[in-house]
Amino acid sequence: MNKWSFYTSKELKPNGWLKNQLEIQGEGLSGNLHKIWPDIRDSAWIGGNCEGWERVPYWLDGFIPLAYLLEREDMIATVRKYIDAIISAQEDDGWICPCKDGKREKYDTWAIQLICKTLKVYYDCSGDERIPDVIYKVLKNYYDLLSSGKIKLFGWGKFRWFETFISLNFLYEKYREEWIKDLAKIIKAQSFDYNTAVNKWKKPSRVWQMNTHIVNMTMMLKSEAVSHELLGEDYTDNAEKLRTILDKYNGTAFEGFTGDEVLSGLDPSKGTELCAVVEQMYSYEEIFAHTGDNKWAERLEVLAFNALPATISEDMWTHQYVQQVNQIACQKTMIIAPWSTNGPYAHTFGLEPNYGCCTANFNQGWPKFALAPFMHSGNTVINVLMLPSVLKADGVTIRLETEYPFKNKMHYYIDAEKDFDFIIRIPSFAKNLKVNGENADTADLSFAIRNGKTEIEIEFETVPYLKNRPNDLCALQMGSLLFSVPVKYSKVMKEYIKKGVERKFPYCDYQFIPKTPWNYGFADRNFKVSYNAVSDIPFSESAPAVTVKANMYQINWGLKFPYKSICRNTPKSRAPISSVQEIELYPYGCSRLRMTEMPLLGGK
């Protein structure tokens, strides 16, 4: 295994389309949530009377790196306001959560695990030297309470135990004290073992359970990677075993899993929670950093370029709770919703459709992804993700100019004050790789960079193909990008107040009503790719940077009984009801209404 370290937001900055994406996020809900949402604005974490558990730590976990990556002084000032308030409320014994002493036994300490992880993110971004001592006191108190039996892990804390290891690893590296290892063992001993639950993942359920909850599933994938070293255990790649089972019985075309709220099978009209998308991304970032195994970075790309933008509006002011791979409408469903346990508004766009956890938690997706393009180990730098970025660290400057994943050309400008080794991860799907105009093997590239200026230009091809999906359906993919039939729609906007929380433009609720056909199947495997300029909105619905034209038939697909806006999981009939039509497919992330998994009707 190769272990890699992340760079900080001081050393690594977004550029090009990635910076545009983060700027949109900063101007949208993420950058303004503390002004409009009571659970952040008036949270008990800062002395208010609203939620004092996961929502502020969730939001800060993404808002902090967003603020520092964008170098927005107004946002950084907000970060400091919240962090100062949280630190100032820390009690003498180290307890930091807004919970009175007499109620600690019934307080789910998932919040302790989460706030410590968030404080580490803040330390990485700010260098605030108060933070190591704050985390030390929190976790030492956690150790005292758990080791004495005054509290025990239960609820979310029991099922998300591994999140503590983000801060425990940081703490042990800094202090090297044995109680930290002891705490790690206590936490593991009181934790839930997901290996005991795999049989429950093999059949969809309408019963809400922690051990099939989609967000827990995506979080736990990193558990062995982040914990094995501190626990003194061998690494076995258990994540691959568990991911394989999850994918076999609940997989999606974008390589996530269905879950609305619990694992929901292979039906492409079932939903996937937004929290699960960003947590799966974070898991893959951490697993790659701890193992150096390329498969996790490649899977990360597929999630980030498809599932993440698809479930958030272009202006990033609204989002869905769950997205569908085959999503023909975003309208309120019947009281008996088509989901496992979610409500009838779960796939509409809004401030907090269904539950507010995603409102707070989706913020981490893009900023943490933007901190993963380059990593380092000793005198070696690796380009993990081909994202437009500028790295300045340890006497090395690397500027990567690219429009990847929309176009497959990368130009590296390197200015080094020292010699170092440079690795570029090449995706497994790359074909006809060229390095500085010369043919090269399609494997990771290694360069011995010498003091001075160096330029490296890389180019490769990606080919559109149909990948097989369950129920004899297919999904069109090219490189890391999925492609869907885009469905045009009209918007129905609703402004209102519910339980004291105002929804008004631009963070009101929206329902999307389809206006164009969606009932298609592929006529053959002939595809035409068109490349366009990358818009200021990278995943634009109206101006996608790349499209693929396919020959398609309309078919009698049908709706899922008794719903009027949910399509069947498989077509009612595969017989064409039209002549062949040339349809332009958009990237999945550019299509808010879409058909993605469809049958191949000919040309097999």
Helix (H, G, I), strand (E, B) or coil at 364: helix
Q: Which of 6, 244, 1, 286 is nearest to 124 (CA)?
A: 6
pLDDT value at 442 more than 80: no
Domain segments of the chain as ranges: 37-192, 465-595
DSSP for 300-331 reads: HHHIIIIIHHHTB-TTSS-B-SEEESSB--B-
pLDDT confidence band for 449 (50 / 70 / 90): very high
Cis peptide bond N-terminal to 562, omega within 30: yes
What is the rounded average pLDDT of the residues 515-527?
Answer: 98
Query: pLDDT, tens digit, for every residue of 453-472?
Result: 999 999 999 999 999 999 99
Q: For 336-349, how does the pLDDT look when each residue is reduced to its tens digit (9 = 90+)?
A: 889 999 999 999 99
Classify 367 as helix, strand or coil. Answer: helix
Kindly state the average pLDDT of the residues 23-37. Answer: 98
For the segment 263-301, what is each residue's pLDDT rounded down to a tens digit? 999 999 999 999 999 999 999 999 999 999 999 999 999
Cα–Cα distance for residue pair 362/368, rounded to 1 Å: 11
- Please tell me the total number of residues recorded for the chain in this structure: 604
> Who has greater pLDDT, 442 or 34?
34
Condensed to tens digits (0 to 9), the pLDDT of residues 120-179 reads 999 999 999 999 999 999 999 999 999 999 999 999 999 999 999 999 999 999 999 999
Helix (H) or strand (E) holding 365: helix 365-370
| In the predicted structure, residue 67 carries a pLDDT above the cut 90 | yes
Q: What is the pLDDT of residues 201-251, one digit of tens each?
A: 999 988 999 999 999 999 999 999 999 999 999 999 999 999 999 999 999
Confidence class for position 603, pLDDT limits 50, 70, 90 = low
Given a cut of 70, whether residue 183 has pLDDT beyond it is yes
* The predicted structure's pLDDT at residue 419: 97
The backbone torsions φ and ψ at residue 457, rounded to the nearest 5 degrees and listed phi first, read -115, 130
Residue-by-residue DSSP string for 43-73: BGGGT-SB--SSHHHHHHHHHHHHHHHHT-H
CA angle (432 as vertex; 426, 435 as ends), nearest 5 = 65
Please write the tens of the pLDDT for every residue from 300-323: 999 999 999 999 999 999 999 999
Please name the residue ranges forming H helices in 89-196: 110-126, 131-148, 155-159, 164-175, 178-189
pLDDT tier for residue 604 given thresholds of 50, 70 and 90? low
pLDDT tens track for 163-181: 999 999 999 999 999 999 9
The answer to which of 303-307, 498-502, 504-508 has the lowest mean pLDDT is 498-502
Q: Name the strand (E) or helix (H) holding 423.
A: strand 420-424
Percent with pLDDT over 70 in the chain? 100
